[in-house]
Amino acid sequence: MRVEETNLKGCYIITPKIFEDTRGEFFESFNKQKFFELTGLDAIFVQDNQSVSSRGVLRGLHFQTGDFKQTKLVRVVKGKILDICVDLRKDSDTFGEHFSIILDSKTNQQLFIPKGFAHGFLTLSKSAIFNYKCDNYYNKESERGIIYNDKALNIDWGISDNLIISEKDKELPTFENLFK
């Protein structure tokens, strides 16, 4: 596997080595030891989540706070999405900046998102199966979010019409209001 750090410290793109033959393909989606050797990070995942979404579904931007902050390893099992993460670490040089990447089931790239980031995605294909590993358990009381179209973050989602967004996500606060 190849690991590249993004413009946001601690956030990595993981590209697997894919083996193809007449039977199909095989790849190792994650190897803890190799990841540690390449990054120095010791990720221990305790919960796997999966969502199925249709074209235009936008989920996010979500994060957990306090003792329930989560590191995530995200990937697309089927389809194609635009994945976004936002650095919420106040002591970071990239505080308030975001990173975007298209993840799909052809390249099988993954995004490693450290604690202290908000995360969201937009489904670009007819449907998508999205999987993410977390290093901490979900806690409803620690769940927070930022409105997807926050003007200060200026995220280009690529499309702005026909989005399918939950009522809960439409009511999320702005980035600025998070820190008041």
Cα 31 to Cα 34, 103, 151, 153: the distances in Å are 5, 19, 38, 33
Distance CA 85, CA 35 (A): 20
In the prediction, which pLDDT does 136 show?
Answer: 96
- pLDDT tens for 78-90 read 999 999 999 999 9
Q: Which of these is catalytic: 62, 98, 119, 137?
A: 62
- pLDDT tens for 132-179 read 999 999 999 999 999 999 999 999 999 878 899 999 999 999 999 887
In the prediction, which pLDDT does 68 show?
Answer: 96
In the prediction, which pLDDT does 8 show?
Answer: 97
In the prediction, which pLDDT does 16 show?
Answer: 93
Cis omega (within 30 of 0) for bond into 61: yes
In the prediction, which pLDDT does 159 show?
Answer: 82
In the prediction, which pLDDT does 160 show?
Answer: 75
Q: Is 62 helix (H, G, I), strand (E, B) or coil?
A: strand
Percent of the chain exceeding pLDDT 90 equals 89
What is this structure's pTM?
0.94
- Residue 131 pairs in a beta bridge with 50, 75
Identify the architecture of domain 48-107+115-178 in CATH. Sandwich (2.60)
CB 132 within 8 A of CB 103: no
CB 146 within 8 A of CB 152: no
* Token pair for 109: 């790239």
In the prediction, which pLDDT does 180 show?
Answer: 66
Is residue 132 among the annotated active site residues? yes
Q: Is 152 helix (H, G, I), strand (E, B) or coil?
A: coil
- pLDDT tens for 4-53 read 999 999 999 999 999 999 999 999 888 899 999 999 999 899 999 999 99
- Residue 103 pairs in a beta bridge with 81
Is residue 148 among the annotated active site residues? no
Q: Which of these is catalytic: 132, 137, 138, 148?
A: 132
